[in-house]
Copies of this chain bind each other. A is one copy, B any other.
Amino acid sequence: MEIKVIDGGVCAPKGFKANGVYCGIKKPSIDNQNPAAPHKNDLGMIVSDSECCCAAVYTTNKVKGAPIIVTKNNLEKTGSKARAVIVNSKNANTCNADGVEKAEKMCELAAKELNIKPEEVIVASTGVIGQILPIEPIEKGIAPLVAGLSYTGNEEAAAAIMTTDTVKKEYAVEFSAGGSVCRIGGMAKGSGMIHPNMATTLNFITTDVKISAQMLQSALNDIVKITYNCLSIDGDTSTNDMVCVMANSAAENKEITCEGEDFENFKAALYEVMMNLTKMLAKDGEGATKMIECECRGCPDTNTAITVAKSVVGSTLFKCAVFGEDANWGRILCAIGYAPAEFDINKVDVDIKSEFGEIAVCRNGAGVDFSEEKAAEVLKSDEIYVIINLNAGENSAKAWGCDLTYDYVKINGDYRT
């Protein structure tokens, strides 16, 4: 099956409008220094022309943002149906006594203006934890937000969820399923678990595929496991993380209700969207200068592959070495060694590659001679690929991360104030 990359982000699928505005939650004094900067937007919306079937996964942190609680409740009430997303940045609406009330209020405001039910609204917030969310800017902003909704509003919406993100993150693809051309689009914010204070990593996915709620949730669970959950920026798990998919059936394909070729095609397309958003998140990790992709091959099962690959991209020490362009393979081997998985370390091979070449650094668990000159060349790239082979099976998986830099420390050393 061919999967074609297309423009349009969350508006690429048929029947989805979006918009983003500046309503005044972000400080004008800071965010208007460059009034043209797209991330001055702080209130965003996605709306489907018709009812959507939804699936979502949420943070596993015991501290859950109020919007997560309200969204979960809403999807339970409606049996996983929704029409719209409302989302603000700059304030996570988490750890506040009135958090749930405010999140419900956001749903009510959106619902009233869109003439739908409050429980048909998915609500999300991203920003500082533990500061009361000012509702007035949202009350004022909701009318212009809805008035400006359009089938090409995806960029305004993507800008409205940015916090310290330096670039908007959107991706969309076109593919075939059930006799129709279908589309999946997505937008994301936050570079992994980069800011518990800019607390949220949000991923909104839209699709015009016709699919049952059960199969949609099943696909999302499978793909989250090998994309978004394989992303490590700093190991912190934030309070407001959410990935949700809305499917509005506008592609008029034969409904996907069970496993089979159509479902596999849908999952393959969903993987492309979520994997590419994951890579964008890794690349835009706070202060990051290099994206790291680690693939672990030759594993007895996928879980082993995921565990080992994540251990490497999560190693603070290896992240520093990548920043320093130091071919410090001992740190890779060390991180492989403490991964909680069963395998023979004496069979492990490691290679490092980039657009500038490839070097073998470890065979059978021991170092091999390599040219430091060549290694330095390989590590100059801003995309570093580590390939591990456990030589113990046929399964593989990838994980993504970024280097650890002075700027990460700077950004996080004094974020809140």
Chain A residues in the interface with B (C-beta under 8 A): 60-63, 94-97, 128-131, 194-197, 199, 234-239, 314-317, 320-321, 323-331, 333-338, 343, 345, 362, 365-367, 372, 404-406, 408-417
Contact = CB atoms under 8 A, between A and B. Distances in A.
Contact of A63 (B325, B333, B405): B333
Given A326-B414, A406-B409, A338 B60 contact: yes
B416 A236 contact: no
Contacts of A195: 317
B372 A337 contact: no
A331 B195 CA distance: 8
A234 B235 CA distance: 11
Residue from A316, A331, A415 having most chain B Cβ neighbours under 10 A: A316
Copies of this chain, whole number? 2
Main secondary structure of the interface of A (DSSP, over half): loop
B345 A63 contact: yes
B337 A239 contact: yes
7 contacts: A62-B336, A130-B367, A235-B316, A237-B337, A320-B413, A323-B409, A324-B412
Contacts of A366: 95-97, 130
A315 B239 CA distance: 14
Contacts of A337: 61-63, 237, 239
A1 to B, nearest CB: 38
Contacts of A362: 95, 130
Nearest to A376: B417
Given A316-B235, A338-B236, A406-B406, A333 B413 contact: no
Given A130-B367, A333-B63, A334-B61, A413 B235 contact: no
Contacts of A326: 413-417
A63 B367 contact: no
